[in-house]
Amino acid sequence: MIARPWTDDLQKCPHTCVGQYISRIGVNSENDDYLCFYGQLEDSSPCLYGVFEPHNGVEAARFIMQRMAVEILFGQITAESSDEEIRDILRNAFVAVEKAYIENYDGMIAERTSLQYSLQTLSESQGPKSRDSILARLKEIDQQLSAGATAVVALVHNSKLFVANVGEARALLCRTDENSVLRVVQLSVDHSLKNEDELLRLRQLGLDIKKLRNAQYLGNQSGTRCLGNYLVKGLYGAFPTLRGAAAEPVRAAAELAPPVPLSSQDRFLVLVSSGVYKRIQEVKGNSEQTNKHLAQIIVENFRKQTDFKKLSQSVLTEIEDEFNTYCMNNNLTPKPTHMGLLIRNFNFPLPNQKETLTQSEKNQVTKQNAVRFNPIVQSKSTTLLNETDSLDDEVCTESSQEKSEIDNGNRRTDPNRRIKGYVDFSCYYENVEKARKNGTLPSFIK
């Protein structure tokens, strides 16, 4: 029997709902322990949210989740803590969790080394049974050493939102502008082989990027960062495509988004595992609009779901049902995956809340629900969050109906006017200059 995690005893955030869907071949389970948390130690303390995606079993993810809550909630955050101090606490929490989990590997690593030595010195007289027994145990150890998790955490403190992530789980902030256009801002960074910064880092370690792109895997996982999974870190030499790396190719270092001041325009925050949006990508076939599709599904469920606590689960069920239908229609076998979804509601009222409101309040609720979908989807929003209110509607992709609404409102724009850029490449150029000074700049970059 699995012990009840201590995070279940945290004071829960009443504005948050979570959902989980673990699909296996022939089994769809919605009753497994949630690999997420959303709570605080007391009313005056920061509220912490997290979603964890397991790799090779849930035990590692469960340990990482509970240890992460300890490191952050007991990280001495006070009302006077500066933004940079809070970011340091988040950054150090990932380091501490990684260190604590890796310490569990010591005994297995020693046994693995001993078994490998025994295998090399095994005489013919000892027979194939001894060899098979050693190989079976080595396989079992490697299975345990490859366990780990990716994580995305969010902290709300002093009306600011802080986000940190490792791996491919995402954090999305959905907010409306003065024209009720819903904008989806991705606060996390996908640590995958589609991330050019990560590919540059791997190339500098001496790895063949073409081979990695073709394989779509870094050792035994698709992401380039994670917590745990010592097999692809300390023992990366066991993988042919990673053997030539000058250092560990998979990292546990967290990516931190700039702190976001929260306002009445913020509708809801989404923390989601990669299994969710990858299901959407397979069905829709358009990765650039994945966040938009997810936001649309969530808003539609906001409008029809009367029980907020069931919102996340209903969203996941809808996504999984659509995915299974797509696979059936295309003669595909659905791959098992883990899907986790946390929604933190800020200012998006549910339908049943209208019953107790005055007419004026009902009108306000109607206005808040009347969002239109022209989201800006940004993978890293360092500059975007500070300029959201000044961005023009041309940045968004509008449907014909929405465009007519804008035209009727006399907000026609000059079709020949240049669109203001919102992608910041300064970080890339800084890294290029550093590499040039250090003499490590790849030859293909001028």
pLDDT in tens, 301-349: 998 888 999 999 999 999 999 999 999 999 998 888 899 999 999 988 7
Percent of the chain with pLDDT over 70: 76
pLDDT digits (tens, 9 = 90+) for 208-262: 999 898 888 899 999 999 999 999 999 998 899 998 899 999 999 999 999 999 9
Query: Which range is least confidently modeled, 21-35, 126-140, 348-362, 405-419?
Result: 405-419
List the beta strands (DSSP E) in 226-315. Answer: 227-228, 255-256, 260-261, 266-272
What pLDDT, on the 0 to 100 scale, is given for residue 41?
Answer: 81
Decide: 249 and 236 in contact? Cβ < 8 Å. yes
Complete DSSP assignment for 36-70: EEEEESSTTSPEEEEEEEEES-HHHHHHHHHHHHH
The verdict on residue 207 lying in a domain is: no
**174 in the Ramachandran plot: left (φ > 0), alpha (ψ -120 to 50) or beta?**
beta
What pLDDT, on the 0 to 100 scale, is given for residue 27?
Answer: 41
Rounded Cα–Cα distance for residues 369 and 378 (Å): 23
The verdict on residue 235 lying in a domain is: no
The CATH number for 365's domain is 3.60.40.10
pTM equals: 0.78
What pLDDT, on the 0 to 100 scale, is given for residue 352?
Answer: 63
With residue 328 as reference, give the H or E element that holds it. helix 311-329
Closest CA to 68 of 107, 39, 27: 39
Q: How many helices and strands, by DSSP H and E, does the chain display?
A: 13, 15
Tell me what the mean pLDDT of segment 266-292 comes to: 92
The verdict on residue 190 lying in a domain is: yes
pLDDT digits (tens, 9 = 90+) for 24-77: 544 444 445 678 889 888 777 889 999 999 998 888 999 999 999 999 988 788
Closest CA to 422 of 386, 371, 373: 386
pLDDT digits (tens, 9 = 90+) for 391-432: 233 223 333 333 333 333 444 445 555 544 555 566 667 777
CB atoms within 10 A of CB 165: 28
What pLDDT, on the 0 to 100 scale, is given for residue 336?
Answer: 84
Q: What integer best gives the mean pLDDT of the chain?
A: 81
The verdict on residue 114 lying in a domain is: no
The verdict on residue 408 lying in a domain is: no
The verdict on residue 156 lying in a domain is: yes
pLDDT digits (tens, 9 = 90+) for 375-384: 444 444 443 4
Domain that holds residue 367: 6-103+145-195+253-391
First and final CA of the chain: distance in angstroms? 59
| Position 19 pLDDT exceeds 70 | yes
The verdict on residue 40 lying in a domain is: yes
Rounded to 10 deg, the angle between the 290-304 and 311-329 helix axes is 120
What pLDDT, on the 0 to 100 scale, is given for residue 28?
Answer: 45
The verdict on residue 214 lying in a domain is: no
| Position 134 pLDDT exceeds 50 | yes
Report CA-CA distances (Å) from 437 to 125, 202, 332, 430, 442.
59, 19, 50, 11, 12
Position 440 confidence tier, pLDDT thresholds 50, 70, 90: confident
Instruction: For residue 181, give the amino acid letter.
Output: V
What pLDDT, on the 0 to 100 scale, is given for residue 353?
Answer: 55
**How many structural domains is the chain composed of?**
1
Tell me what the mean pLDDT of segment 338-367 comes to: 69
Percent of the chain with pLDDT over 90: 51
